[in-house]
Amino acid sequence: MARSVGSRFETHLPFLKENKIGCWNWGFVAGRTQTYFPWGSPAGAPEPKIWFHDILRTNGTPFDAQEVQLIKQATGKLRASALPSRRILLATSRSSPLPWRYTLEKPAADWFLPAFNEAAWKQGPAPFGQEEPGIDRHPNTVWTNSDIWMRREFEVPAGKIRGADLVLHHDEDTEVYINGVLALETKGYNADYARYPITPEAGATLRPGKNILAVHCHQTIGGQYIDVGIEAAQ
């Protein structure tokens, strides 16, 4: 397990089961070996948004309830039909390119607010970044400088919205706003698409009809890549 760089139960456990490969996870309950922190974390570091290894909190609740359900399904403790389904509110461009407005020049301070006019920005399909076949990175729009700012309008269908998460492939530091409210701020990178919880304040702004997603990604060294989507519980 190394969730923050793309090695997750949902990506690896089905493969291991299909090929009859035995495995074990280093770390189970947070607090003993502290393997929910990534290597190199300084003393006193805050709890990471994406845990590295561990599965359960000290009170027995899971870091990710959906992840535990997947483990139970893979080990025969839960029928596949019992797994909750997810609905896509905004698709990523992993399978089909979606257009975004973007700029490589620092915009005005209100660039993430719904009323901001991005008509002068360029338009191009995500993902944005550099080609890295070794970790399955294939951008549709090349981005090679230090920063990119992106905006996209999307429609949410009627109905109650619950359990919404961002689906994010990022390299490196990324901040995401939904309808002008900070939904996520994460440092570093991952090597594949992963779910990230949306802040309650930003989640509360999601509504049927028109919504605005605004993203800033900052690159420092090595590879670079950004693509974002949103999914929710059915």
User: For 124, what's the count of Cα atoms within 13 Å in the CB-facing half-sphere?
Assistant: 19
Tens digits of per-residue pLDDT, 103-142? 999 999 999 999 999 999 999 999 999 999 888 899 999 9
Query: Does residue 61 or residue 66 have the better pLDDT?
Result: 61
User: For 21, what's the count of Cα atoms within 13 Å in the CB-facing half-sphere?
Assistant: 9
Joined tokens for residue 204: 């509360």
Q: Domain residue spans in the chain? A: 1-83, 87-233
Joined tokens for residue 109: 């301070």
Task: Please choose, from the candidates 63, 112, 65, 84, the residue with its C-alpha nearest in 3D space to the C-alpha of residue 232.
Answer: 84
Q: Which residue matches tokens 């970790």?
A: 135
CATH of region 87-233, choose from 3.30.420.40, 2.60.120.260, 3.40.710.10, 2.40.160.20: 2.60.120.260
Tens digits of per-residue pLDDT, 17-26? 889 999 888 8
Task: Please choose, from the candidates 84, 69, 78, the residue with its C-alpha nearest in 3D space to the C-alpha of residue 10.
Answer: 69
Tens digits of per-residue pLDDT, 195-226? 888 999 999 999 999 999 999 999 999 999 99
Q: Which residue matches tokens 């605004």?
A: 214
Rounded Cα gap, residues 150 and 209, in angstroms: 20
**Whole-number Cα distances in Å, 114 to 91, 117, 125, 132, 197:** 20, 8, 21, 33, 21
Rounded Cα gap, residues 178 and 201, in angstroms: 9
Rounded Cα gap, residues 192 and 109, in angstroms: 30
Cis amide bond preceding 172, omega within 30: yes
